[in-house]
């Protein structure tokens, strides 16, 4: 299963009482039988297996992921409020059948500036092995990052300036080459540029861009885009820069081919397009 990208609303941002957070962690311990804590976003040990494919050192399948530790330390508020996230909990089923919770805590100058973690199958083998998130450096802006059970796997460069954001679209093998590509809109309110990165050999490499597209307006708690496959291969669905047309984009080697597929009259237009209607 590969995360295709769905229009999802922002999880309500609230500063939880310390007692509530502690209670949630205790419940997690009782249910899962163990918590592994990672105090900073160190890069996970990764490498290639005997087939030459990327593999994670942390054995097991990711079952779920959620943001934790709401924080107001980065008051960008691009998603409608000033609450972002300081932590990430990843639930993993190990090879022996046991289930564990991995808690990742960001340093104080980073936050997850995002709606929700997205589960990704990086090896296209049917098992979820990564989580895709927007991670913002408070001085350098947002980056798209991949986390596994062992910590951070890879990330794109940060945009380079505070209060600059990117809006994820999804992850899929966009060109049929057997490698997963990640897509997002770089600065959807300013640059309005589609960027596509390929994950290969444990690294992310940018392979294609296209200007004139967007998927988010300031203050909205949802992202208006996704990836669909209507029988002829994956297509990225976004809106044009003027918010007047719905656009379908395909990756062709190192270029993006885009076509107008109809007028935009609201988020439901893109939602309908994603169902191939």
For residue range 180-199, list pLDDT tens digits in order. Answer: 999 999 999 999 999 999 99
In DSSP terms, 141 is beta-bridged to 137
First to last CA, the chain: 22
- Residue 19 tokens read as 């007692």
Q: What is the pLDDT of residue 24?
A: 32
| Domains parsed from the chain with CATH numbers | 18-274 (2.130.10)
Half-sphere exposure of 5 (CA within 13 A, CB side): 30
Which residue, chain included where needed, has tokens 């093998």?
173
The answer to whether 7 and 225 are in contact (CB under 8 A) is yes
256 DSSP 8-state letter: E
- pLDDT tens digit string along 94-139? 988 999 999 999 999 999 999 999 999 999 999 999 999 999 999 9
pLDDT tops 70 at residue 47: no
Query: Mean pLDDT across the chain, nearest whole number?
Result: 85
Please classify residue 58 by burial: count the beta carbons closer than 10 Å to its beta carbon, then call 0-12 exposed, 13-18 middle and 19+ buried.
Answer: buried
Separation CA 2–CA 199 (nearest Å): 13
């Amino acid at each position: 299963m590969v995360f295709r990208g769905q229009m999802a609303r922002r999880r309500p941002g609230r500063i939880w009482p310390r007692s509530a957070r502690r209670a949630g962690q205790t419940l997690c311990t009782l249910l899962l039988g163990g918590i592994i804590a990672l105090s900073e976003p160190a890069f996970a040990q990764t490498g290639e297996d005997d087939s030459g494919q990327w593999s994670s050192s942390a054995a097991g399948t990711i079952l779920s992921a959620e943001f934790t530790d709401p924080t107001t330390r980065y008051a960008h508020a691009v998603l409608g409020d000033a609450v972002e996230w300081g932590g990430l909990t990843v639930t993993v089923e190990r090879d022996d059948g046991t289930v564990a919770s991995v808690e990742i805590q960001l340093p104080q100058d980073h936050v997850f500036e995002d709606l929700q973690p997205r589960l990704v199958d990086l090896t296209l083998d049917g098992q979820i092995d990564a989580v895709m998130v927007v991670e913002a450096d408070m001085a350098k802006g947002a980056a798209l990052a991949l986390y596994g059970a062992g910590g951070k796997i890879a990330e794109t460069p940060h945009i380079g300036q505070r209060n600059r954001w990117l809006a994820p679209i999804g992850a899929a093998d966009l060109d049929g080459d057997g490698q997963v590509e990640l897509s997002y809109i770089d600065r959807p309110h300013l640059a309005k540029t589609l960027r596509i990165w390929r994950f290969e050999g444990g690294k992310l490499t940018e392979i294609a861009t296209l200007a004139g597209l967007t998927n988010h307006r300031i203050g909205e708690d949802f992202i208006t885009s996704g990836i669909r496959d209507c029988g002829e291969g994956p297509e990225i669905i976004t809106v044009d820069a003027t918010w007047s047309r719905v656009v379908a984009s395909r990756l062709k080697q190192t270029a993006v081919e885009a076509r107008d597929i109809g007028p935009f009259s609201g988020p439901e237009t893109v939602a309908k397009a994603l169902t191939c209607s």
